[in-house]
Structure 1
Amino acid sequence: MRTLAFDGRMGASGDMILGSLLAAGADRSVLSVVEEALDVRYNVGVAEKNGIAATNVRVLVDGSEEGDDHTHNDGDAHGHTHDGDDAHDHHHHGDDSHDHTHDDSDAHGHHRHGDDSHDHDHGEETPAEGHGPHRSYADVVELVESMDLPSGVESDAKAVFRILGEAEASVHGTEIDETHFHEVGADDAIADVVGACLLVSDLGVERVVTTPVAAGGGETTMSHGTYPVPAPAVVEVAERADWAMKGGPVEAELLTPTGAAILAHFAESVDSLPPLTVDSSGYGAGGWEFPDHPNVLRALVGDGSGRLARDEITVLETNVDDATPELLGGLQESLTEAGARDVTVLPATMKKSRPGHLVKVVVRPEDAERVAHRLAVETGTLGIREHGAGHRWVAAREFRTATLDIDGDAHDVAVKVASDETGEAYDYSPEYDDALAVARETGLPVREVMRRAESAVRD
């Protein structure tokens, strides 16, 4: 299975993720849809981090300078890298007056901000930090939907912003629909999120993993006061992620909410890099300079070892006590048409010992609202519970045809074959209806027909 693996030992930001994906082989041209939709441009260059050549991505106001910069070096006298995420999105829950400061004389490292004091280093370049209106969560979703993105990319981008919106709402004790983004609602942060989704799609990977992601250490100052690293929004995002977060290895803020949210949506956790036949790799540059730790995010792309595939799901359920057997039986078909992946109906005991049923529906998160509406319409239920986004491990499935020679006549039986990511088959299930039809025609027991069909496909 084609796998994208991130090495998160030095944290992650939106810019670092963009740089690592481009360095690992994603096509920069797919980002043009974002540049056309927003008044921004991706400036792609090279930065040296402790001897490692890393791809540096800065989001600039469109027209501030023509062409990408392929010679930019963090280490020289003019190398004040603007790492958009580190400079803005780690404090997106603050207001416009937010001031995140670092002491450049700190022995643990220097952070290169793109503020006014460094603008002369980039000539006419204008960083897009904070550019554009500050938007609500609903505004961001509407903007993403207006970009004419591929359906999968749009779904991914909206899912990342959903994670950010839920984190923001949790920090402030508000509802997500009432949430107003600040820096994360600005053009450059939207360019980070949508750009990352486009680049992941372009790589054509089937699985994304990350090692434990470093958050850094020390304290960060924001408009709400001084907080220990990781910042509150990063903690909220990490609660929604599958991967582990760890402190260190330096006293600095390494993980931003945007970087955390992108990884929370795409990546599952691994303790160490999995076995990979590496096809490509690369480094995305961050904005910190440390004496002994290159501030880079590494990405590797290649074929991974066999295992079951990961399928993102959420679970809907409701109790009904007045549904007929015919109606319940029809839910398999009607809910599947609406997008359900699996439907289960279980007997249950309701209030006052009335017999009833528990209907459980497995569905992709993006299909949950549509399937829930169909479930309500079909059953008349007054409430549907959702158990939140999770995942399941699923086998690759295909149907093969077993042709049986019985008394000189050929009979076909479909057999469902389950296999892991390497294509190694581990289960064979003949279709009962096909086997029953052959059994009636030949006089053989159904069990014998199924045994012969399985054997024919195995061999």
Structure 2
Amino acid sequence: MRLLAFDGRMGASGDMLLGALVAAGADPSVLSPVEDALDVTYRVHEVDKNGILATKVDVLLAETDGGDPRGEGHGDDHRRLRADGDDGGDSDNDADGDGEDEHSHQHQYRHHDHAHDGEHTHHHDDGHEHSHDDHEHHHSHDDHEHHHSHDDHTHAEGHGPHRTFPEVVELVESMDLPASVVEDATAIFRVLGEAEAEVHGTDLDETHFHEVGADDAIADVVGVCLLLDDLGVDRVVTGPVAVGGGEAEMSHGSYPVPAPAVLNITEAADWSVRGGPVEAELLTPTGAAILAHLAEGVETLPSMSVESSGYGAGGWDFPDRPNVLRAVVGDGGSRLVRDEISVLETNLDDATPEVLGGLQQTLKDAGARDVSIVPTTMKKSRPGHLVKVVVKPEDAERVAYRLAVETGTLGIREHGAGHRWTARREFETATLAVDGDEYEVSVKVGSDADGVVYDRSAEYDDALAVANETGLPVREVMRRAVDAVASNDGE
């Protein structure tokens, strides 16, 4: 199983994800369909982040590009591409926001000075601003010197119209993209749109994305999906993602980090977040939405044979830590997916049937992955029940509290973080013809990492509804649905 693992301990953003994927081996030439659709340019170059050589991907306006956006001295492996833009704040925690803080490293690795005059204001994808007065940056490499200016390149932040969700979807579908890329990009923009609509109390289809709907944001989202498709990975995971801390200036005032939209997105994400490690905005809405759709959460790097790795550069420069997102690609080994879990247990000797009957759904709503209730014999030969709950480690406390208040139990055991092996699960729809009418039944398909299907099971509720309408036995409906899906799969 080909695995991609992100280390988000310094946050994540659209441009950091682009850089990390290119650094890990994705071919940036696959971004050309995005460039063909919008009047912008990707610049792929290398920067120094506290001694770490990282890949930076800038989105520039094509019409103002005064030549090779890579800067002089770059070899052919640093490709010049045209594209559509970055999502405002996705020059992640960018001190300037325009990438000017970044120090483009030529193959000679010479010392270079960057002087930026005037005041730079950066608008993040959720309206955050950071202003910085005159400043200079000096990096040293082997006593060689080089002076390089970025003044002739205009970044594409906020360029283009501020589109609604349907307008963004229409634009993405108009590009020459693989079907899977269109599906992923559309899903990511839906995550972004629903988060912003919730913040502002508006309808998804009527909400304007502001910076997130501009050209540069679309370049980030679609670009990441294209690069990921080029890597050909089977599974994407991420460790806990840092959100930063402090406050950020938004169009509506000062708000604590993480931004409201980021919080809305992470509510539905499979991975966990953590504050710090610096007072800055590290996780942007676009970075959060991309990972929320694509990545599973893990606590540590999974067992894997490493094939390649790389670092995507963020915009902040910190004195004691590199602002980078690491990506590792390799063989995950197992044909099944390793899922980090904890197991909660409690014994009940006085729970009513009504409480037990609704307990599974109540605990799943609180975050449980699976709930089992087993009849048992307790002290003094009293009949009772053993409740076992599978949870993600980060959800254990919340689910345990819900278990306590629902049942009245005075103690809950936790077996600690372990793991379970799970199959890949997808749902296919079977269409059944009965007496001239057609009915649909959802079928769950289980397969290993190589795509080998070893189980199909019809959803009982769907089959029961068809059985009630047609008079067929439920078992017969389920059998026909499984056979129909197998036939569609060519088996």
Q: Is TM > 0.5 for Structure 1 vs Structure 2? A: yes
> Per-residue displacement from partner, 1:167-212 (whole Å, max 9, x unpaired)?
0111111121111110011001100000000000000000000000
The answer to whether the 8 A contact 1:331-1:343 is kept is: no
Change (3 A) 1:185 1:79: farther
> Per-residue displacement from partner, 1:356-376 (whole Å, max 9, x unpaired)?
94579xxxxxxxxxxxxxxxx
**Paired position in structure 2 for 1:208:** 236
**Paired position in structure 2 for 1:451:** none
Whole-angstrom CA distance in 1 between matches of 2:20 and 2:115: 19
**Paired position in structure 1 for 2:209:** 181
Whole-angstrom CA distance in 2 between matches of 1:195 and 1:209: 19
> Per-residue displacement from partner, 1:42-94 (whole Å, max 9, x unpaired)?
011111000000001100001413324266626953277xxxxx954441xx4
Change (3 A) 1:197 1:183: same
Change (3 A) 1:287 1:333: closer
The AA in structure 2 aligned to 1:47 is V
Change (3 A) 1:329 1:125: closer
> Per-residue displacement from partner, 1:306-351 (whole Å, max 9, x unpaired)?
12366476899xxxxxx99879996459999xxxx8532449xxxx
1:100 pairs, out of 129, 148, 157, with 129
The AA in structure 1 aligned to 2:459 is T
Whole-angstrom CA distance in 1 between matches of 2:285 and 2:149: 27
> Per-residue displacement from partner, 1:137-172 (whole Å, max 9, x unpaired)?
111000000002100001010010010011011111
Whole-angstrom CA distance in 1 between matches of 2:112 and 2:125: 26
> Per-residue displacement from partner, 1:376-421 (whole Å, max 9, x unpaired)?
xx99xxxxxxxxxxxxxxxxxxx9xxxxxxxxxxxxxxxxxxxxxx
**Paired position in structure 2 for 1:393:** none
The answer to whether the 8 A contact 1:23-1:283 is kept is: yes
Alignment pair present for 1:6 and 2:2 = no
TM-fit CA distance, 1:247: 0.4
Whole-angstrom CA distance in 1 between matches of 2:318 and 2:133: 11
**Paired position in structure 2 for 1:293:** 321
Alignment pair present for 1:77 and 2:192 = no
**Paired position in structure 1 for 2:200:** 172
Whole-angstrom CA distance in 2 between matches of 1:67 and 1:305: 42
TM-fit CA distance, 1:225: 1.2
* 1:258-297 aligned within 5 A: 258-297=286-325
Change (3 A) 1:334 1:17: closer
Change (3 A) 1:333 1:252: closer
Partner-residue secondary structure (3-state), 1:164:
helix
Whole-angstrom CA distance in 1 between matches of 2:459 and 2:24: 42
Alignment pair present for 1:343 and 2:458 = yes
Partner-residue secondary structure (3-state), 1:78:
strand
* 1:209-224 aligned within 5 A: 209-224=237-252
* 1:59-74 aligned within 5 A: 59-63=59-63, 64-69=65-70, 73=103
1:250 pairs, out of 258, 271, 278, with 278
Whole-angstrom CA distance in 2 between matches of 1:335 and 1:229: 40
Partner-residue secondary structure (3-state), 1:188:
helix
User: Number of matched residues?
Assistant: 323
Partner-residue secondary structure (3-state), 1:200:
helix
Whole-angstrom CA distance in 2 between matches of 1:333 and 1:231: 38
Alignment pair present for 1:28 and 2:28 = yes
Whole-angstrom CA distance in 1 between matches of 2:269 and 2:134: 34
Whole-angstrom CA distance in 1 between matches of 2:23 and 2:287: 17
Whole-angstrom CA distance in 2 between matches of 1:47 and 1:293: 14
**Paired position in structure 2 for 1:135:** 163
**Paired position in structure 2 for 1:304:** 332
**Paired position in structure 1 for 2:182:** 154
The AA in structure 1 aligned to 2:166 is A
* 1:221-240 aligned within 5 A: 221-240=249-268
Partner-residue secondary structure (3-state), 1:246:
strand
Identity between Structure 1 and Structure 2 (%): 59
Whole-angstrom CA distance in 1 between matches of 2:433 and 2:220: 51
Change (3 A) 1:199 1:359: farther
1:125 pairs, out of 144, 147, 153, with 153
The answer to whether the 8 A contact 1:4-1:299 is kept is: yes
Whole-angstrom CA distance in 1 between matches of 2:425 and 2:113: 47
The answer to whether the 8 A contact 2:19-2:312 is kept is: yes
Change (3 A) 1:358 1:333: closer
Whole-angstrom CA distance in 1 between matches of 2:44 and 2:14: 14
Whole-angstrom CA distance in 1 between matches of 2:427 and 2:161: 33
Q: TM-score when scaled to structure 1?
A: 0.64
Change (3 A) 1:137 1:324: closer
The answer to whether the 8 A contact 2:242-2:275 is kept is: yes
Partner-residue secondary structure (3-state), 1:279:
strand
TM-fit CA distance, 1:305: 3.2
Change (3 A) 1:263 1:324: closer
Change (3 A) 1:285 1:79: farther
Whole-angstrom CA distance in 1 between matches of 2:241 and 2:329: 18
The AA in structure 2 aligned to 1:277 is S
Whole-angstrom CA distance in 1 between matches of 2:442 and 2:164: 38
Change (3 A) 1:334 1:21: closer
The answer to whether the 8 A contact 1:20-1:297 is kept is: yes
